[in-house]
């Protein structure tokens, strides 16, 4: 079938056993036995690029290894269509976007075309994000179970766009959100399933000190003083200028350095502008390093996170913010804004420190730099927290449970 991808992973399910334990994998296998025989058809808008594709790329082969028949398809769409859905995406995030009736009409046209062209064979049709949401129209014809997975922060969406999408969403059997505050008043079941990181991926696997030193040398960094690092693309919502401000407050009393590392997005013309602003702002401060990291530099990102003394994520708005889980997995103390899905990962004073302002961020950074034992305790807790809640194996378990729950209504289900 066109637009279907067959993935094979170099990572085997049993490779996770030393990390998550034998019992975790045993439970996954038991769950799979209970849900065997069903075909799960995943539909989204792209095989490559973006967080959703990255997660699916790891998850689908693992689900297949478990014995679940999961297949992955993507919809077809023109550039114009994806421009519209990008506007939808921003509007759902709460950003003001001008969306015309023509845009809505285009969305419906492309949806109609995909409805005609696509083959729907899954016992469970698992649709990700707003782009393919309209495919639910097929449910009237073929039945089956339909689930909509929302990866976006819809806690304060543009009402017009949400109303439009809601018309489709209510026909699904269930919706899945990444954080409790993304939940909406909907007549269908809503599940909370958080995204996850893969501990064996290049971005998160263990690195030797040689690799870390090589990356530091490449970017002209030295590890002779504490390093505060924010890994994010250059976007105003990640508040890089706020991070610099907080760092400057800390630097007055503690000798340390700041690393702002990230990329620019080709679909976001503003990112180049932000990068320039940041570079201009720090040009006279030798303790601040602005690094433009090319895409596909997972090992470099990994090395920069592992070299950091503290990881900061001072976003003004965030979806789930998986960079937090990545940092916590490396047992790094984290200072992060209490936005989006971050509070799920950082339980204040237990697995990191939350902040709301520049001053709050500076205070938290100073606390951690001055109390390395406390920082280490938070980092270790953070690692355990990620192990328990945000690893890909837990994500697999949640999806398997969600598939099973579609046929059940009780709160206590005996399998």
Partner 1 sequence: MVDWLTTSWLWLTRNWLYIAVPLVIFLATYVVGLWVRRIVYRAFNRWMVGKWEGGQLIIHTTRTPFIYWFLILGAFIAIQVSKLNSSAKIFADKILASLFVFSLTWVVVSLSTQILKLYIGKVPRLQPSETLIVNAVRIAIAVVGALILLDVWGAPTTPIILLLAAAILIAALAFRDVLANFFSGFQLAQGEQIKVGDFIKLESGESGYVTDVTWRNTQVRALDGNLILVPNSRLVQSTVINYGRPLKKATRPFRFYTRLYLKELTGLKASNLVELVNMLKEVPDSVIYYHTHHFLEEYHYLTPEPANDFALWVSDELGDEVIGEKLASIDTFDFPTISALRARIEGVIRDYLSKKPDGRTAREGREFHFIKSVSFIMPTPYVAHDLREFIEVLRQVSINSLAYHIFEARLRLKKGVSDFAIWIEECLDDKDLAEKLAYLDPYNYTLEGLRSTMIQVIEKRIK
Which residues would be at the binding site for partner 1 (CB under 8 A)?
21-24, 26-27, 30-31, 34, 155-156, 177, 180-181, 183-186, 189-193, 338-339, 347-348, 350, 381, 384-385, 388-389, 397-398, 401-402, 404-405, 411-415
Backbone angles phi, psi at 344, to 5 degrees: -70, -30
Cα-Cα-Cα-Cα dihedral sign, residues 349, 354, 327, 246: negative
* Distance set, CA 257 to CA 118, 285, 312 (Å): 53, 10, 13
Q: Which helix (H) or strand (E) holds 43?
A: strand 39-44
6 CB-side CA count, 13 A: 2
- Cα–Cα–Cα angle for 88, 92, 93, rounded to 5 degrees: 120
- Ramachandran region, residue 414 (left: φ > 0; alpha: ψ -120 to 50; beta: rest): beta
Return the residue matching tokens 């998850």: 59
Residue 145's nearest CA partner among 183, 114, 176, 118 is 176
* Distance set, CA 102 to CA 84, 106, 215 (Å): 10, 6, 48
Give the 3-state secondary structure of residue 185: coil
């Amino acid at each position: 079938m066109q637009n279907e991808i067959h993935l094979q992973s170099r990572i085997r399910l049993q490779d996770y056993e030393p990390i998550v334990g034998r019992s975790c994998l045993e439970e996954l296998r038991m769950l799979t036995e209970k849900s065997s025989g069903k075909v799960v058809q995943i539909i989204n808008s792209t095989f490559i690029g973006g967080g959703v594709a990255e997660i699916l790329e790891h998850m689908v082969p693992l689900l297949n290894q478990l014995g679940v028949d999961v297949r992955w398809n993507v919809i077809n769409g023109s550039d114009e269509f994806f421009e519209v859905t990008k506007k939808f995406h921003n509007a759902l995030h709460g950003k003001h976007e001008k969306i015309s009736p023509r845009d809505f009409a285009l969305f419906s046209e492309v949806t109609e075309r995909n409805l005609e062209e696509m083959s729907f064979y899954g016992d469970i049709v698992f649709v990700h994000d707003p782009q393919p949401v309209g495919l639910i129209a097929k449910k009237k014809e073929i039945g089956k179970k339909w689930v909509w997975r929302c990866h976006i922060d819809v806690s304060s969406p543009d009402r017009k766009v949400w109303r439009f999408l809601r018309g489709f969403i209510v026909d699904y059997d269930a919706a899945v959100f990444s954080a409790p505050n993304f939940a909406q008043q909907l007549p269908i079941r809503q599940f909370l399933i958080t995204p996850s990181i893969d501990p064996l991926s290049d971005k998160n696997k263990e690195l030797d000190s040689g690799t870390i030193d090589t990356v530091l040398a490449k970017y002209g960094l030295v590890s002779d003083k504490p390093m505060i690092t924010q890994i994010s693309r250059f976007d105003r919502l990640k508040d890089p200028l706020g991070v610099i401000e907080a760092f400057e407050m800390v630097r007055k009393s503690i000798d340390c350095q700041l690393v702002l590392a990230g990329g620019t997005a080709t679909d976001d013309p503003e990112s180049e502008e932000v990068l320039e602003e940041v570079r201009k702002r720090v040009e006279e401060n030798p303790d601040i390093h602005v690094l433009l990291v090319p895409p596909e530099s997972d090992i470099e990102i990994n090395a920069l996170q592992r070299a950091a003394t503290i990881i900061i994520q001072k976003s003004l708005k965030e979806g789930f913010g998986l960079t937090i889980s990545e940092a916590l997995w490396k047992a790094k103390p984290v200072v992060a804004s209490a936005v989006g899905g971050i509070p799920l990962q950082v339980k204040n004073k237990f697995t990191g420190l939350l902040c709301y302002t520049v001053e709050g961020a500076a205070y938290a950074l100073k606390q951690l730099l001055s109390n390395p034992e406390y920082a280490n305790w938070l980092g270790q807790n953070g690692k355990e927290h990620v192990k328990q809640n945000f690893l890909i194996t837990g994500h697999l378990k949640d999806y398997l449970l969600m598939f099973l729950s579609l046929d059940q209504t009780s709160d206590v289900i005996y399998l």
